[in-house]
Structure 1
Amino acid sequence: MRLTVLGSGSTGNAVLICAGETRVLVDAGLSAKETVRRLALVGEDAAQLDGVIITHEHGDHAGGLRVLLKSLDCPVYTSGATRDAYVREKSRNNDEPKKRAEALRDRVVEISSSQDFRIGEIDFHPFTVPHDAVDNFGFTATHDGVRVATLMDFGCITTLVAERLRGCAAIVIESNHSRDMLKACEVYPWELK
């Protein structure tokens, strides 16, 4: 199993998980053009992706999804609540919600934190993580007995998160923290600061 961080941070997040012949993109926060470029840099073709998992609706995790889907022929795995929030996400373009809904039409495989799922040769085990999104997930992915995890944006490590991460061969955590920014920010509740 191979994990490749294509982007991490407030400007865009994307992680590629490969196992056998299976290629899965976790989050599409980079522009479509940049995602395709970075995949090519690591010898991968975006058209060969078997699925895209969206962990939550924020722009740095899903901002490039709509345009990226134009060049992909694979499903998008996300929760119904995340799909709906992504479609409604604020945009300068008034047509964006309609465009997002159309891009996702017949493409979404709805997942939940209580149900494992499989994409190609990889078994995914989602779990809820605290964040200011409607339904934020972390995942472990298993192939041939090797387990890895992706944890994209979270407020704290809960007992559940610690339990799910135990025994992983590798863990990708996307996080950035600025005490000064958080103190000044009135949007986030204290438990997420």
Structure 2
Amino acid sequence: MRFASIGSGSKGNATLVEADDTLVMVDCGFSARETTRRLARLGLAPEQLSAILVTHEHSDHSAGVARLSRQYRIPVYLTYGTAASGRCDGAHELRCFNCDDRFEVGALAVQTVAVPHDALEPCQFRLSWQQRSLGILTDLGSVTPHVVNSYRGCNSLLLEFNHDTRLLAGGTYPPQLKRRVGGDWGHLNNEQAADLLRELDCVAELNHLVVAHISENNNSRACAEAALAAVLESLEGVTWACQSEGFDWLAV
């Protein structure tokens, strides 16, 4: 089982997970053409996708879903609420589920996790194959006990470090957007993400920790590293997911 990204941030997100002959894409926030171009960097084509899993309807996660699905006849898995938004209308096939449902896509077992975010029915995913599990957790404004329990024991974790509170407060965003991003239904700040790692108490066991969905305007690698340094003995094993290229394959 392995995972990679073709881009992570407010301009577009897409994460790839592969096990045996199953390849899924979690979110597709780029145009179909741009997604195809980025997949090619990893030696992949859209025809190889078994499914697209959608976390929620915001455009940086759903912009290319319908067209890519329709063009290459890829089934789309999403919550009933996300489907009701209409953002994925026109897809080849919509397979709806409720938050916290569990289902299988080929060789992968998928556990969906309800999260607090300002969307209709947002979720995140924990994907498992044999005895290995990968946690994908972005786009939530606060950490609930349910989230903590759902991500315990992951072998690898892709986790949002969206913003630094001081940079957000002093930045150029209008007040309403600052409140949204920094609120309980927005995005995790560096300290919240680090606190979650502390609560999970699994850092030493993680094969890979990927820092993802980093704001280009309201965060910096130095700020995220400072928060991580309070939890990790070393930052050598941390992978940084960037907006332009994501990151290459990592084994779970």
| TM-score greater than 0.5 by the shorter chain | yes
Residues 105-156 of structure 1, C-alpha deviations (whole Å, 9 max, x = no match): x601111123201000000000101111111111100001100011131112
Equivalent position amino acid for 2:168 in 1 = R
Misfit runs of 4+, over 6 Å: none
Q: How many residues align?
A: 179
In structure 1, the partner of 2:126 is: 140
Tell whether 2:50 aligns with 1:61: no
In structure 2, the partner of 1:110 is: 96
1:70 aligns to what SS in structure 2?
A: helix
Residues 15-73 of structure 1, C-alpha deviations (whole Å, 9 max, x = no match): 00000110000001012112111211112221110000110000000011122223322
**Alignment of structure 1 residues 12-23 onto 2, 5 Å:** 12-23=12-23
Report deviation, 1:183.
7.5
Taking structure 1 as reference, are residues 36 and 175 closer, same or farther at Cα in structure 2, changes over 3 Å only? Answer: farther
The question of whether the paired residues in 1 share the 8 Å contact of 2:2 and 2:18 is answered with yes
- Specify which of 164, 168, 192 is matched with residue 185 of structure 2: 192
Higher relative contact order (CA 8 A, sep 6+): 2
- Specify which of 112, 119, 143 is matched with residue 126 of structure 1: 112
In structure 1, the partner of 2:29 is: 29
- TM normalised by structure 1 equals 0.85
1:185 aligns to what SS in structure 2?
A: helix
For structure 1, the residue ranges without an aligned partner over 5 or more in a row are 90-99
Equivalent position amino acid for 1:44 in 2 = L
- TM normalised by structure 2 equals 0.66
The question of whether the paired residues in 2 share the 8 Å contact of 1:51 and 1:75 is answered with yes
Equivalent position amino acid for 1:65 in 2 = V
In structure 2, the partner of 1:10 is: 10
CA distance in 1, matches of 2:161, 2:12: 12
CA distance in 2, matches of 1:22, 1:81: 26
The question of whether the paired residues in 2 share the 8 Å contact of 1:9 and 1:174 is answered with no
Root-mean-square deviation over aligned CA pairs: 2.0
Paired-residue identity, %: 32
CA distance in 2, matches of 1:132, 1:113: 15
Equivalent position amino acid for 1:3 in 2 = F
The question of whether the paired residues in 1 share the 8 Å contact of 2:26 and 2:55 is answered with yes
In structure 2, the partner of 1:179 is: 168
Equivalent position amino acid for 1:156 in 2 = S
Taking structure 1 as reference, are residues 34 and 127 closer, same or farther at Cα in structure 2, changes over 3 Å only? Answer: same
For structure 2, the residue ranges without an aligned partner over 5 or more in a row are 187-252
CA distance in 1, matches of 2:174, 2:143: 20
